[in-house]
Amino acid sequence: MSKDMLIVVGAGAISGFASLAFLSGVPGALLVVYLAPLPLLLVGLDQGIKAVSIAGVSGIVTSTVAGTMLSGGLFTVIHAFPAWIIVRHALLKYSAPDTKNKEWYPAGSILCILSVFSSGILMMIIVWSQGEVGGLRGLIKSYLDQVFTYVMPVDDVLRGDLVQLMVPLFPGYMGTSWVLMVVFNASIALAILTRFDRTERPKSKLANLMLPDWMSWFIVVSASIALLSQEELEFFSRNLTLILAVPFFFLGLAVFHKLASHAAFPRMLLTAIYVALFLSGWIALVVIITGIIEQWFGLRRYFENPG
């Protein structure tokens, strides 16, 4: 076995073990789980689609042998396949319209594919949970009740209030955090490979992020169903809309980054924006709305030509 192949297989094994780190019970192990896709992305973006495929299989085998069949299946869906999607598209070039030049597949399109993929997982979970008592909401309520009972023993009334508060948007938050996790790992992988000159793909600036037009239809349809439906369908559509809003969140950030580039103190302005995001979830909603407006009307062009 060649040195490169050993690195690829080893990266997959490391990723598989990292995905099971939470089983150790060690404080901070969850951070290791969040970094589980990083080895797959590093070898994939460095050596290509074959490498990430082999590393993914290695991770699946490792997580199955060290854990269970369920952990292997979860690794496939949560880490291996998304890493394959990113590498497949990040290394893809296509002919630009009206020119003979080759362009890299847009980062915004990859982001949208990940968001739609996460939405598809939510759809499958909804269908699977229909045979359970209370559907998906019932399962989430039972799960959260067990978690709070274990990690934060409080009286039944307070625990019930916390569970009721989290249930309505819990699937959406989980799907959103998954997309953010994958994007975060992909950004780290590209930054590392760029630093060591191991990738030809140029570094993308957030201020220049663009989303494909078809993404608007997904969120419009989902939001419309959420507003007009009731009970289980409304619950599903609301959480689906939250996941589909992630690309528009990044697009909204792109608008603020472009605005900051024309400000007298750009770093100070961006720092204030990110601090506000950390302190208040309502600011995230403002950023998402900004991204939707940018997608439909184009705010950044006014920064380029204020007149």
The DSSP 8-state label assigned to residue 106 in this structure reads: P
Element (DSSP H or E) covering residue 94: strand 93-95
Q: What is the dihedral of CA 75, 76, 81, 84, to 10 degrees?
A: 80
- Which one has a higher pLDDT value, 29 or 33? 33
Which residue, 93, 168, 162, 90, is CA-closest to 136? 168
- Give the model confidence (pLDDT) of 86-123 as tens digits: 999 999 987 766 666 778 999 999 999 999 999 999 99
Phi-psi region of 28 (alpha: psi -120 to 50; beta: other; left: phi over 0): left
Phi-psi region of 135 (alpha: psi -120 to 50; beta: other; left: phi over 0): left
Sequence-distant (≥ 6) Cβ neighbours of residue 70 within 8 angstroms: none
DSSP sequence for 153-189: ---HHHHHHHHHHHGGGHHHHHHHHHHHHHHHHHHHH
Provide the CB-side half-sphere exposure for 54 (13 A, CA). 16
CA dihedral sign of residues 131, 135, 141, 147: positive
- Give the model confidence (pLDDT) of 171-224 as tens digits: 999 999 999 999 999 999 999 999 999 988 888 889 999 999 999 999 999 999
- pLDDT grade for 21, boundaries at 50, 70 and 90: confident
